[in-house]
Structure 1
Amino acid sequence: MSKVDVGSEMVHRGPVKNRSCTDVFCLIIFIAFLVGWGIIGFYGFTLGDPQRLLHPTDSNGRICGVDETLKDKPYLFYFDLTRCADPSVLIKGCSTPQICVKKCPTETFLAIAEVAQIGEALTKTKLICKENVTVSQMSVKELVDKGHCASYYLQSEPIETFDRIFQDYSETWWIILIGLAISMLISLFWIVLMRFVAGPMVWLSIIGILALQGVGFWYCFMRYTELKDLPGANNQTLAQIAFTTNLGTYLELRETWLAFLIILGISMAVIVLILIFLRNRIRIAIALIGHASKAVGSIMSTLLFPIFPWVFQVLVIGYFAAVALYAASIGKSTFKVVGLDNMTNIDCSCTSVIDSVGTCIPLGFEQICGSQCPGSTCRFFETGGNYYVTVLQIYNLFGLFWGLFFVSALAEIVLAGAFASWYWAFNKPRDVPAYPLTNSLFRAIFYHLGTVAFGSLIIAIIRSIRVLLEYLDRKVREYSDTCCSRSMMCLCKCCFWMLETFMKFVNRNAFVLCAVNGTSFCQSASDAFSLLLRNVARVVVLDKVTDFLLFLGRLVIVTAMGILSFYVFTNRIHYINEYIPPTNYYMVPIITTVLGAYFISGLFFSVYSMAIDTIFLCFLQDTEINDGSPEKPFYMSQELMEILGKKNKL
């Protein structure tokens, strides 16, 4: 391999000790942003009232179960719920009266039928009416016709789904924890297994893929031959038949099987060519995977480290949700006139309490405008409507993105420093510095928070643009849903998705070199990109091989836990049924266990993936900087040196 000018000789052979702070200006910006985010939170917590959003609101804007006069009435009752089924409700509001009640109706009631059966007096005792309505002064018909009381109601009960879900969690939490512990043990076992049998697993996977494709190729060839020689076979082509949802029609065509035959043949040929020409690089990838397993095994504390970034990410999400909730409740209650299909055609010029967009002032509406606007009422519409609240929510959303990506980037740079310390130890694990993870954490906090802020800011900006594109896409579909507009929006979203994926790749490798060399973000990104570009074939092969192995591991763990939890919570394992409590929704603990297993396996495999990326970059630096001489010995494993045909001349 030709030597590349990489600057001054790396005497330190690993993370440099004498380093300075990097990207300080970005750190200052990040701190200022956090201060602003804190001010927004304080503003929201001071002025907001989430009870207005978490509890139903009646037609007068009062909160059921919260306001002083409604503390014993937590439920909202609609006089005629069918009026709320119109799409115009989103703009005009629901025209039926809405009142707070102590409990939901326990029987079905129809006023006219009840009067005929039990008479006026008993019927009035069953009516659900507005406040301050004296039912004794009017007949049932008058009460219903004037909208003072509901003409009917159905037997119903409050929505208790969340209560039932909470009950399921309270009964099955210990079983879920056992399932998560099992998934953790399986994850650990898989990582240990990768350390010893990574090579056989890779080669068996490749052979298995080729074998499956070979079987498919043979079957397609047999079907094509069978249809070709069959008398009276369908000789139509794909172009001659119309589109149909009956897939069996396509499977009766020779062209279909010929297409399958060609696709499988090409894919098999590509894989065989890759094995022939890139076999040595695949061996390097397998050796590096084993190398990474040894690094993780040597620094076992790295397996527990992701728990701490996860806790901080949960705190970021929790703060975002709290600020979003309180900020959304800052706005004042908005009331709109309902009951008028077209106000311009009716003499409803009650400008003292109604503005040009139909919003109204509830106090005095009935007294001042009742006669001028017949059939209309002033009802609660929504909470909010303030422009500055939208600005606060945008700031809060960007804070969520930047905060999450900052924590993730900090975890990456800390792990990179720890694994780099392991790689650049000549006699492993004897020469590995004491407490490599702790030392790496201190280096990242004291010197490189600015670099972490810089890299995470780039990803946060790109993610915000993607969210904006999603919003614009929905608006475009509402007003101009054309093929051209859909294509342009799809192209833009695809481009920014690829840009985010690429920048995450660049950031990850930049953090590795920053942890090793102590350079700024731009310098680290430039060095990492150049280093990877000079070894692009190795990068592609290693990336795909490791991605496949890690995906296979997570798939095995999640699938196993999903099947096991299904059999447990559906009482299909008879000898433990007496210990399994009944549930309202058995899918709740199953989904929780599966998601938890996916998350836990992700924690372990993210460490493994970071170890591979770090050791790979260190390996590339090792091959370019060192030559195996006593002055510049290789730091890679003996297995890697044998694959590359190199050795240390000690």
Structure 2
Amino acid sequence: MLNEASRAVRDVPTTVIFPVMYSFVGIAYFAFWLAVALYVFSCKEKATKNTPENLIEYFGFTYIDVTFNKDLQNALIYHLLCLVYLAQVISYFGFMVLAGVFADWYFSIWNSSQSRKIRGYGTGELSGSPVCESLFRVLRFHLGSLALGALVVTPVRLIRWILMSIKRSTQNAQNGATRCIFGCTNCCLQCLECLLDKINQEGFILTSIYGTNFCQSSFVAVKLIYTNVLRTALLEGISHYIEFFGRITIAAVTTGICLTVFSLDNYFRDNLSSVLSPGIAVFVIAYIIGSLFMLVYEVAVDTIFLCYLIDEQTHPNGPKFAHEDLAKMANKHKNSLTRKKVTLANYNRENKTLSSFLQASCTLVFLLLSTIFSLLLKSKRNKKYNHQQKKGIDIFFLNYLFCMRCLHQAFHFKAQILKQNLHYVCLLQQSFRSNESIIFAVFLCSSLECYVEEIYTKFHNYSNNTHYCYE
């Protein structure tokens, strides 16, 4: 998929320049926002007042009192909300323009040697200026989708920022339980924000392909990814780390070259007292520029992968628009998944053994890790907290984990396991004196066992229809 993205970028080189030009739009909007904020903050009200009697001979009978307008200063909160919201809209705008370019590229016809797409304005041909055409389509038809997608993510982000600001302002008055509540809440909100952002991006790709509305495109994209969840997870994991190392490599190589020049050139060696400050500045600038260029590959990989899934779903006999190397690799992987056909009884027996092995292994690993963690936590906690704070931490962890486990079991209607967990908590509280790490391990292992059981059940139900073993 990365090779396919590289072909797309080579075939449409203007996509590399677009993020640089597009970043000026964000800079211009931020400059406009900052100017408006300064004007609003500096608005003044003038009022004529009488001069005190002892100062009349120096200043006259009246003077002008100038005060800042508090109402307009309070309105800066709404101005800040507009900044966050419109910044997200601008970010999605650039993403959707690039997604439209790569979607057009994928569904265009290859030349005879499959080295480039055929350029022209005929049916199935790639236009001469795909970036301009995608830009026009987004401006003409899809601004409402961008606004709705940003409206979904922005409230979650604002709530998370507000909670973090409250946490920083009350840092000295917090105990262990309060910090844990803030940390757990921030983690949940950040996961929700990441999930909504990913759904929005996939929906924008579908909108670029079909031209449908945002809600319908997001629903179809989630359904398509859910049916190919293994391939999606593998691609996302690999591409994420490759893109991250690409950014770091670009920044590190650029910084190394600059530091070498600073060290060898006589002018810099005589006029610079230290190369640390310019080195840090070069690294930051190079990382930002590298992120802009790697963003093109990130959008290309996501778009081409989703286009391939649509192509594969539309043409059951084989993808029509994919490169032959990509089609061969995908068919080889698909054949390896369905190579072994077994009976239903053997399939059930093998997966029962596998699920039991996973349960036992996970239980052993997490209990071992939790024991080490509990010893480290106990040694550090005794030096940091007094008796009341330690007791509060223990009670909070106990109640929090038990509530999470209760919600999980109540959702899946497993009352018997719920009663067993309550019994486990009572025993552990008496035996280990509310050691939250061991209690956490028990709940985690129990939850993991339920998840393994659910996965096995889903595969079991699926095997009733297919009778295939996916390895």
Normalising by structure 2, we get a TM-score of 0.60
Are the structure 2 counterparts of residues 362 and 429 from structure 1 closer, same or farther at C-alpha, using a change threshold of 3 Å? farther
Amino acid at match of 1:615: I
Name the CA shift for 1:387/1:476 in 2 (closer, same or farther; >3 Å).
farther
- Give 1:362-381 correspondences, 5 Å limit: none
Question: What are the within-5 Å matches in structure 2 for residues 238-257 of structure 1?
Answer: none
Structure 2 partner of 1:386: 70
Shift of 1:363: 7.4
Structure 2 vs 1, CA of residues 469 and 422 (structure 1 numbering), >3 Å: closer, same or farther?
A: same
Please say if residues 406 and 456 of structure 1, whose CA atoms lie closer than 8 Å, have aligned partners that are also in contact: yes
Work out whether 1:306 is the aligned partner of 2:19. yes
Alpha carbons of 1:331 and 1:488: their partners in 2 closer, same or farther (altered >3 Å)? farther
Does the CA-based 8 Å contact 1:568-1:580 persist in structure 2? Answer: no
When residues 429 and 483 of structure 1 are mapped into structure 2, their CA distance, relative to the original with a 3 A threshold, is same
Q: What SS class does the counterpart of residue 628 from structure 1 fall into? A: coil
2:157 partner SS: helix
1:625 to 314, 321, 345: 314
Instruction: For 1:326-345, list aligned pairs within 5 A.
Output: 326-330=39-43
Amino acid at match of 2:14: S
What does 1:142-157 align with in structure 2 at a 5 Å threshold? none
Distance in 2, matches of 1:503 and 1:406, equals 14
Contact 2:102 2:300 in 1 (8 A): yes
Structure 1: give runs of 5+ residues left out of the alignment. Answer: 1-287, 334-360, 368-382
> Within 1, Cα distance between the matches of 2:159 and 2:21?
29
Distance 1:456 1:309, change over 3 A: farther
Superposition map of 1:509-528 within 5 A: 509-528=202-221
Instruction: Confirm whether residue 400 of structure 1 aligns to residue 83 of structure 2.
Output: yes
1:561 corresponds to 2:254: yes
Matches within 5 A, 1:421-440: 421-427=104-110, 428-430=116-118, 431-440=125-134
Q: Give per-residue Cα distances to partners, 1:53-83, cap 9 Å, x unaligned.
A: xxxxxxxxxxxxxxxxxxxxxxxxxxxxxxx
Q: For residues 640 and 314 of structure 1, what CA distance do their matches in structure 2 show?
A: 39
Structure (1/2) with the larger helix percentage: 2
**Which position in structure 2 is the counterpart of 1:448?**
142
Preserved contact between residue 206 and residue 217 of structure 2 (Cα < 8 Å): yes
Q: Which of 71, 91, 94 is residue 411 of structure 1 equivalent to?
A: 94
Answer whether contact 2:85 2:150 (CA < 8 A) is retained. yes
The structure whose Rg is larger is: 1
State which of 464, 468, 472 in structure 1 corresponds to 2:166. Answer: 472
The residue that corresponds to 1:355 in the other structure is none
Q: Distance in 2 between matches of 1:298 and 1:628?
A: 27
Q: TM-score, normalised by structure 1?
A: 0.44
**SS of alignment partner, residue 304 of structure 2:** helix
The C-alpha deviation readout for 1:459-485, integer Å capped at 9, x for no partner, is: 22222222211222234446x423333
5 Å matches for 1:203-352?
288-330=1-43
Matched residue SS, 2:244: helix
Secondary structure in 2 matching 1:425: coil
Q: Give the Cα–Cα distance (whole angstroms) in 2 for the partners of residues 623 and 366 of structure 1.
A: 90
- Residues 313, 403 of structure 1: 8 Å contact kept: no
| Cα displacement (A) at 1:594 | 1.6
For residue 538 of structure 1, report the CA deviation from its aligned partner: 0.5
Pair 329,501 (structure 1): closer, same or farther in 2 beyond 3 Å: same
Question: What SS is found at the alignment partner of 1:487?
Answer: helix
Q: CA shift at 1:309, angstroms?
A: 2.0
Shift of 1:404: 1.3
Contact 2:4/2:326 (8 A) holds in 1: no
Aligned counterparts of 2:132 and 2:24: Cα–Cα separation in 1: 18
Deviation at 1:586, TM superposition (A): 4.8
1:494-552 deviation digits (Å, cap 9, x = unpaired): 22111111111111111100001101111111111111111110011101111111111
| 2: CA distance, partners of 1:311 / 1:567 | 30
CA distance in 2, matches of 1:300, 1:504: 27
Shift of 1:581: 7.2
Shift of 1:604: 1.0
Indicate how the Cα distance of structure 1 residues 362 and 437 shifts in structure 2: closer, same or farther if over 3 A, else same: same
**Alignment partner, residue 490 of structure 1:** 183
Q: Distance in 2 between matches of 1:319 and 1:641?
A: 48
Among 317, 325, 328, the residue aligned to 1:642: 328
Structure 2 unaligned spans of 5+: 56-66, 111-115, 119-124, 333-471
What corresponds to 2:242 in structure 1? 549
CA separation of 1:581/1:413 partners in 2, compared to 1, >3 Å: closer, same or farther? farther
Q: Would the alpha carbon gap of residues 455 and 365 (structure 1) be closer, same or farther in structure 2, given more than 3 Å must change?
A: farther
The CA deviation at 1:429 is: 0.9
Give 3-state SS (helix, strand or coil) of 2:185's partner.
helix
Q: 1:592 aligns with which of 270, 273, 281?
A: 281
Shift, 1:492, TM fit: 1.9
Q: Is 1:416–1:512's contact at 8 Å kept on the other side of the alignment?
A: yes
In 2, the alpha carbon distance for the partners of 1:366 and 1:585 equals: 60
Whichever residue aligns with residue 550 of structure 1, its letter is E
Going from structure 1 to structure 2, the CA distance change for 1:640 and 1:315 (only over 3 Å counts) comes to same
- Identity across aligned pairs (percent)? 30
Q: Distance in 2 between matches of 1:363 and 1:536?
A: 77
Q: Quick check: 491-500 or 518-527, which moved more?
A: 491-500
* Residues 543, 447 of structure 1: alpha-carbon distance in 2 compared, 3 angstrom cutoff: same
Structure 1 CA distance for aligned equivalents of residues 83 and 274 of structure 2: 32
Residue in 1 that maps onto 2:266: 577
Separation in 2 of the partners of 1:503 and 1:523?
15
**Structure 2 match to 1:270:** none
Determine helix, strand or coil for the equivalent of 2:271: coil
Change (3 A) 1:579 1:482: closer
Residue-by-residue CA offset, 1:612-647 (whole Å, 9 max, x unaligned)? 000000011111111237xxx62111122222338x
- How far apart, in 2, do the equivalents of 1:325 and 1:485 lie? 37
**Pairwise CA distance, 1:364:** 5.5
Distance change >3 Å, CA 583–CA 635, structure 1 → 2: same
AA at the equivalent of 2:259: F
The higher relative CO (CA closer than 8 Å, separation ≥ 6) is in 1
Structure 2: distance between partners of 1:363 and 1:465: 48
**2:41/2:72 contact within 8 Å kept:** no
CA contact (8 A) 2:16 2:293 kept: yes
Q: Secondary structure at the match of 1:429?
A: coil
Contact 2:40 2:72 (8 Å CA) reproduced: no
Give the letter for the 1:645 counterpart: N
Q: Is the 8 A contact 1:309 1:408 kept in 2?
A: no
Match of 2:233 in 1: 540
Instruction: Please list the CA deviations of residues 437-490 of structure 1 after superposition, one character each: whole Å capped at 9, or x if unmatched.
Output: 111111111110111111122222222222211222234446x42333322222
2 CA distance for matches of 1:328 and 1:557?
Answer: 40
Structure-2 change in CA distance of 1:538 and 1:362 (3 Å)? farther
Q: Give the AA of the match of 2:186.
A: K
Give the aligned CA root-mean-square deviation in angstroms.
2.9
Question: For 1:397 and 1:546, how far apart are their aligned partners in 2?
Answer: 34
